[in-house]
Structure 1
């Protein structure tokens, strides 16, 4: 209730002011409907097919075309106040722990891979002329090694262990080398085991090795559709994907310019995970850190 009351209070205060804010809540409030019949037509811009984010959804070309066509004529309803509150609460609750965990794994891999750490320092220094106080969005998005490093971290440590979908219609899937078929009836809940998919040697050679090269632009074509799913896929992929990626990249870029991370005797290799069902949590992540 604390978050809900907080969000409602902030919304009420903003409605009484003419000042616009450059944040997520303002974006939602800008599409808040005033009556029950207000609608607006949208295109397929919500599909992440651009070079900077498309590979994080790991969809095939044919699937993306179908998705674009399906969304091209969609009539998008405006949001109610209750829906805005729900989305803001989701951003606060679901986004904090997952991003924090991912950043912890990033630091862990930086400590274990000093050669990769040095290359990232070099890439970010050249991109920002050693002025990390003024890192801009466009430049941050154009750093191939940083993107590959974050992508491999998300593959190796998918914080969300599973994703869930409900079958919208009856479907028969053909699976396995024997050609066996599985019927999934409408309404059946299907759980997709992300960690298992990300660590299958059929999908990623040497899956337990940390290799950012897999996600460099010249190698992305080797990734099979729907085998890399840290943010899910399709129209119901993670709403906070772009924000999370930029947040993680920004923090990593800032940290490596100021600190060096390294392994210590207490560093667990490999990571020891805490048993759980929803989030991939390490028992502990201990590394050394010193100021550059």
Structure 2
């Protein structure tokens, strides 16, 4: 027996609670009626911009948008709500320094105050050392004569260390903290929720992949009483492959726009991108191009499994296939053809956070429940008519409580022994 649920609503509530806890250290009580919750109402506005604003923002040049007062596809009231709330929280934290929240706001305040201390001399190497500050930062990466916390390194590893992390005379300003908080809310909540929705859908359609994932997770964390640490997560290649394949097949950001900072010649095409030109990169189209992913519309996690790398080009890009992304397959991926979080200096700052939350959520869910289709499950999915994001319009799935055979964990997580209880 299973319970039919609106899986979009479930994951929307869950992801909002996760992000607000990590960002602000407060709980939303997401399972209660949220219709009067101003945070949820304004967050919904950021995820679903008005079609008129989106159309204007897509079609009109910047000077016309400025004249019309359209700064962003998201309505101004929602932006102002989050900026005002974050500014108020930062001010309160600065006034009351006795509490340690160990969240993003605390990290931003400590960076603003240049409060990350080094307790060793520069050796010229990038060494890992421990720091013991009241801000909860446990590790630091030594760079020159200053330290960048491990959390900051994860958040900024793709962007380079710029203004915002203590490095010499640099620090994170309040405006930068406000901007990055908004990014976490805008990107973190919906990206986590929508990705989980697509993964649950594909696992329900592919019980063989779901069982393989369950066996891998169960083999690593046992009966659930073991703490799920980063080392355990890193031993789950199929979990990573499932997430990667879902983000490839169901690319949430359909395209990304970038401005050239210098002239660039496109090989021998005779085309030169001039400094200041805007370039639209079709992420969804790249992820579904058969030259890179054969059968691109098929869910196939095995595309990314180690033992299938030499076969990667021959897999259907229209099929969900997690094995594309397994470790032994990754060297067959064409560089820069898998870009769910963009690339380079403008790569999504919330990428590591999103991936970690996806893994932890799936681990906990897959141990307790099985995703199944019901008579009301749409096949194929009905998607929202939007050029802004690739999102399902609705999705009803069944959640079935697991009553499984006891799995004895072995030294090799992929080698599973079953014992009936």
Same fold by TM-score greater than 0.5: yes
Aligned with residue 86 of structure 1, among 179, 200, 213: 179
Deviations 1:173-202 (A, max 9, x none): 03xxxx533221100111111100000011
How far off is 1:158 after superposition? Answer: 1.3
TM-score by length of 1: 0.82
Which residues of 2 match residues 124-139 of structure 1 at below 5 A? 124-131=217-224, 134-139=227-232
2:263 corresponds in structure 1 to 170
Task: In structure 2, list runs of 5 or more residues that go unmatched.
Answer: 1-79, 115-144, 162-166, 295-315, 403-421
Structure 2 residue 288 is the aligned partner of structure 1 residue 199: yes
Structure 1 partner of 2:379: 269
Q: Give the aligned partner of residue 342 of structure 2.
A: 232
Q: Which residue of 2 aligns with 1:251?
A: 361
- Give yes or no for contact 1:124–1:130 (8 Å, CA) kept in 2: no
Give the match for residue 148 of structure 1: 241
Q: Secondary structure at the match of 2:238?
A: helix
For residue 89 of structure 1, give the secondary structure of its aligned residue in structure 2.
helix
SS in 1 for 2:89: helix
Partner of 1:189: 278
Q: Per the alignment, do residues 127 and 94 of structure 1 end up closer, same or farther by CA in structure 2, a change over 3 Å counting?
A: same
Specify the alignment match of 1:51 in structure 2. none
Shift of 1:41: 6.0
Displacement of 1:208 in angstroms is: 0.8
Runs of 5+ unmatched residues, structure 1: 35-39, 49-53, 58-66, 69-73
Alignment equivalent of 1:287, drawn from 397, 404, 407: 397
TM-fit CA distance, 1:278: 1.3
1:28 aligns with 2:114: no
TM-score w.r.t. the length of structure 2 is 0.58
Deviations 1:194-225 (A, max 9, x none): 10000001111211101111111000001111
Q: Quickly say closer, same or farther: Cα 1:159–1:261, change in 2 above 3 A.
A: same
Q: Distance in 1 between matches of 2:391 and 2:169?
A: 37
User: Are 1:170 and 1:185, in contact at CA under 8 Å, matched by a contact in 2?
Assistant: yes
Corresponding residue number in structure 2 for 1:61:
none
Is contact 2:183–2:350 with CA below 8 Å preserved after alignment?
no
Preserved contact between residue 187 and residue 350 of structure 2 (Cα < 8 Å)? no
Change in CA separation of 1:133 and 1:7 when aligned onto 2, cut-off 3 Å = farther
Matched, 1:215 2:325: yes
CA distance in 1, matches of 2:283, 2:277: 19
Match of 1:99 in 2: 192
Aligned residue pairs, count? 262
CA distance in 1, matches of 2:235, 2:253: 26
Name the SS of the counterpart of 2:336 in structure 1: coil
> Which whole-Å CA distance do the structure 2 matches of 1:9 and 1:47 have between them?
26
Q: CA RMSD in A?
A: 2.6
Partner of 1:241: 351
Task: Determine which structure has more spread, i.e. the larger CA radius of gyration.
Answer: 2
